[in-house]
Structure 1
Amino acid sequence: MTSFGKFADRSLGSLAREACIEALRDAQTAPQAVEMIACGCARSGSLQARESGVGQLVGWEVGIQGVPVYNEKAFCASGAMAFNVANLAVTGGEHDIALVVGVERMSTRNGKGRPLTSDGMVLEGEQGFTPPAYYAMAARRHMDVYGTTREQIAAVAVKNRRAASLNPKAQYREPITIDDVVGSRPVAGPLHLLDCCPTGDGAAAAIIVSERGAERLGIDPQVEILASIVGSGYYAEQRRDMTSFTLDRHTAKRAYERAQLGPEDIHVAEVHDSFSIAEIIHYEDLGLCEAGEGGKLVESGDTSLGGRLPVNPSGGLLNRGHPLGATGVAQIVELADQLRGRAGERQVPGARHALAHISGGFQEGDFATSGITILARIGATES
């Protein structure tokens, strides 16, 4: 993956090219060996990219031609959707070597003061229904129902910034305190600026191979995909509870069943922390703790580096950054590095099973898309 940040001098194509070339080299794979491209890009792109497809632009940049290209748009979950599509193609036997890329340029996309909303919700956004406003209401509700404290919510941002300080590719790396979070500029009460993920630019890429593809390339993969699950919102049957997301709970259940694991088997996770309260809610919906216990979980230190279950060792969306289409693939890159023991100072010792979670867009009070991927170090199930 590239560094994440605000890069006025970088194009969509140059960001994607950097990430893809790094992934190809890491997998000892020539561009000509790639049989398909799946690209996640939520919103950005030049006129050329919008007309021909961002994935096609990526292929041209990297030197891949004549292969099927799938362009996936699922707001924040665009990268996870692209990963899922490529995984389906490889596990289904249609292709043996797939390139997945997520890329976005957000720093010059929206303009100062323009609300960022889910597609089809421009009117709601202009009336105030933006992600910060929604999560602010969710935070208020979680505090009222479960007694979650403002300090527990702020602790998510502090924890993830501490991890980001060890990640050379993170957008923000300077350590912060709870007082810094609570004292930063108010955005939508109780959330302040440091409770919110930044806009930025970046790209991430991964290579998915079948056993036959690995043999053809002469490589020995170290990471296995146990589950790649996506779903759309339960608009009719949801509980209308702002402290939980029906879709995430259903998607997590399917992912654990597919992987034949439970939440207790996960050693490291990358979770959608677009806002500090979001990570707390996702702990609960992913089964990492009981409902209402998310605030206490982060306060305990269990989800910090060195804790029982480190969450967002990359720094998460809050600090690594959140270029929409790139994020889902960046989570995969981080977890693959963790499972391969090459995460440097933020390495989770002995990590064998890893979970990535991301959600995208809103539809009638639930997420529009949820993506969950469970990875394992090859040989982990026997160890």
Structure 2
Amino acid sequence: MREVFVLGVGQSDFGKMPERSIADLGGQAARAAIADAGINSAQIQAVFSSRVYDAMITSQTIMKDLGVTRVEMVNVENACAGGSTAIRSLYKDIAAGFVDLGIAIGVESMTTSPIAGKLIPPDRDDLDGQLGLSMPVLFALQAQRLMATHGATPEDFAQVSVKAHDFGALNPRAQYQKRFTVEEVLASRMIADPITLLQCCPNTDGAAAVVMASADVAKKYAEAPVRVAGSALISGDYDFRRSDITTLELGARAAALAYEQAGVAPSDVDVVELHDAFASEEIVHYEDLGLCARGDGVGLLRSGATSLGGRIPVNPSGGLLSLGHPLAASGVRVICDITDQLRGRSGASQVPGAKVGLAQMLGGVATGLDAAAGSVHILTV
């Protein structure tokens, strides 16, 4: 396989913007990524886009306004991991030599979707969901187990949210740019015990885009492009084989595959962007990604290691809790933020000297499965 590099990244703002169309949001991100790459849109050979709601010809809808036609365009859906799937799909095409230069886009308008202002409903044939196992409940059960087995407290979960909002206050794109205290987080409305409102990501509109290229193309446009050193995307396993709800096994497997391909260890990683739809979930990912030993996730949080200035900052963008979660866009957005970190252009949230970054995203649940999709990408300079 050929090496694959990130040439340019772009994002829209994140928030509730019902007046903006998919073409508008996606076009803003795509134009920014193309300009960042230093190319023109006519050079793009392939487009992979992802959207969960009202999804139809997303790539074509966005790219026609950028003057891009008559190239391969593919539209994918993989729940919250859809954007990661678009990245992975383009990565494979470039690595295999089918194309030399392409763009991956993730976009979502939650405020104009059929679920605007509502909880995301389960499918009619999702028995667990119909019986009440909504996403907040699923992660609340996991949080309860973390308290029983890991010594976690509601204050620990609240601290994850405090950290995310501290970071979000530094990010001009974030939906929430306000700091909160542990007491304020705990005092917010209870959603599913022990998860309160400020420990849940908001529904959000937004888009992100990444231009990727082969080594031969990349060296023409960048002296030190960011390399996609590891890429993994896997599906979940049957739930009956799951013995511990304090781990998301598909996330751990995706991480192991990406580490092996990249030739790095968890201890080599300088910065992480991950799926934090609910605050307690972040602690689980610490362990699944190998950032600490099994059972030490709470201790890692309490040590301050995952805060800015710590050993391994996690979600310095503000994460889903602060930026918001435009579902299919989030998997592309984490690649954008890691790329910016490795290029040293993350402003007040910059991790000094970052050379290795990890971008993770999970997506979807279905009756009988522990989860639907998990993706990990490792980027290096």
TM-score of the aligned structures, taking structure 1 as reference length: 0.93
3-state SS in 2 of match to 1:107: helix
Which letter maps to 1:335?
I
Superposed displacement of residue 145, structure 1: 1.3
AA partner of residue 315 (structure 1): G
Q: 1:236 to 1:7 in 2, by over 3 A?
A: closer
Distance 1:140 1:103 in 2: 33
SS of residue in 1 equivalent to 2:312? coil
Q: Secondary structure of the equivalent of 1:328?
A: helix
Distance 1:60 1:85 in 2: 21
Following superposition, the deviation at residue 295 of structure 1 comes to 1.6
Q: How far apart, in 1, do the equivalents of 2:179 and 2:195 lie? A: 19
Instruction: Find the aligned partners of 1:143 and 1:44 in 2 and give their Cα distance.
Output: 39
Aligned to 1:156: 160
Change (3 A) 1:93 1:112: closer
Candidates 89, 96, 108, aligned match of 2:112: 108
CA distance in 1, matches of 2:159, 2:176: 16
The alpha-carbon distance between structure 1 residues 296 and 180, as it changes in their structure 2 partners (threshold 3 A), is same
1:281 aligns with 2:291: no
Return the letter of the residue paired with 1:161: H
Matches within 5 A, 1:139-178: 139-178=143-182
Q: Tell me, what secondary structure is at the counterpart of 1:302?
A: coil
Q: Where do 1:111-130 residues align within 5 Å?
A: 111=115, 114-117=118-121, 124-130=128-134
Structure-2 separation of matches of 1:277 and 1:57: 37
CA distance in 2, matches of 1:230, 1:361: 13
Q: State how far apart, in whole Å, the 2-side matches of 1:223 and 1:315 are.
A: 22
Q: Output the amino acid matched with 2:33.
A: A
- Give 1:353 shift: 0.1
**Distance (whole Å) between structure 2 residues aligned to residue 96 and residue 222 of structure 1:** 15
SS in 1 for 2:62: helix
CA contact (8 A) 1:44 1:109 kept: yes
Report the Cα offset of residue 318 of structure 1: 0.5
Helix, strand or coil at the partner of 1:87: helix
Which of 42, 49, 54 aligns to 1:44? It is: 54
Distance between the aligned counterparts of 2:59 and 2:339, measured in 1? 23
How many aligned positions are there? 370
- What residue number does 2:8 align with? none
2: CA distance, partners of 1:243 / 1:191: 15
Whether 2:266 is the aligned partner of 1:256: answer no
Partner of 2:96: 92
Q: What are the superposed Cα offsets for residues 50-109 of structure 1, whole Å, 9 maximum, x if unpaired?
A: 2xx111212212221111111111100000000000000001111000101100011232
Question: Mean Cα displacement is larger for which, 100-109 or 181-190?
Answer: 100-109
Distance 1:236 1:146, change over 3 A: closer
Q: CA deviation at 1:246?
A: 1.5
SS in 1 for 2:159: helix
Question: Given the alignment, which residue of 33, 43, 50 partners 1:33?
Answer: 43
Look up the SS of the partner of 1:17 in the other structure. Answer: helix
Equivalence for 1:381: none
> Is the CA contact (8 Å cut-off) linking 1:39 and 1:54 kept in structure 2?
yes
Shift of 1:40: 1.5
CA distance, structure 1, for counterparts of residue 118 and residue 127 of structure 2: 12
Whole-Å separation in 2 of the counterparts to 1:227 and 1:237: 30
For 1:120 and 1:284, how far apart are their aligned partners in 2? 33
Task: Please name the residue that 1:315 is paired with.
Answer: 318
- The one-letter amino acid of 2:241's match is Q
Distance in 1, Cα, partners of 2:309 & 2:358: 17
Deviation at 1:122, TM superposition (A): 5.2
Q: 1:187 and 2:197 equivalent?
A: no
2 CA distance for matches of 1:139 and 1:8? 33
Give the distance between the partners of 1:89 and 1:237, measured in 2 at CA: 35
Deviations 1:337-366 (A, max 9, x none): 000000001000000000011100013241
Question: What is the CA-CA distance between 1:270 and the residue it aligns to?
Answer: 0.2
Deviations 1:314-348 (A, max 9, x none): 00011111100100111011110000000001000
Shift in CA distance, 88/116, structure 1 to aligned 2, threshold 3 Å:
same
Residues 15 and 203, structure 1, Cα contact 8 Å, conserved in 2: yes
Deviation, 1:240, is: 3.3
The residue aligned with 2:79 is 75
Unaligned ranges ≥5, structure 2: 1-10
Cα distance in 2, alignment partners of residues 218 and 86 from structure 1 = 19
Judge conservation of contact 1:233–1:367 (CA < 8 Å) in 2.
yes
Is 1:133 the counterpart of 2:137? The answer is yes
- Mark the CA change 1:270 to 1:66 in structure 2 (over 3 Å): closer, same or farther: same
* Bigger shift: residues 101-110 or 322-331: 101-110
Pairs within 5 Å for 1:190-339: 190-215=194-219, 218-235=221-238, 238-339=241-342
What residue identity is the alignment partner of 1:63?
Answer: G
TM-aligned CA distance change 1:120 to 1:230, over 3 Å: farther
Cα shift at 1:375? 0.1
Deviation at 1:152, TM superposition (A): 0.8
Q: Which amino acid aligns with 1:8?
A: P
Deviation at 1:242, TM superposition (A): 1.1
- 1:234 partner amino acid: D
Given the superposition, is the C-alpha separation of residues 229 and 112 from structure 1 closer, same or farther in structure 2, using an over 3 Å criterion? closer
Letter matched to residue 29 of structure 2 = A
Superposition map of 1:350-361 within 5 A: 350-361=353-364
**SS of residue matched to 2:61:** helix
Deviates more, 1:314-323 or 1:219-228: 219-228
Calculate percent identity across the aligned residue pairs.
39
Amino acid at match of 2:53: R
- Per the TM alignment, residue 214 of structure 1 is displaced from its structure 2 partner at its CA by 2.5
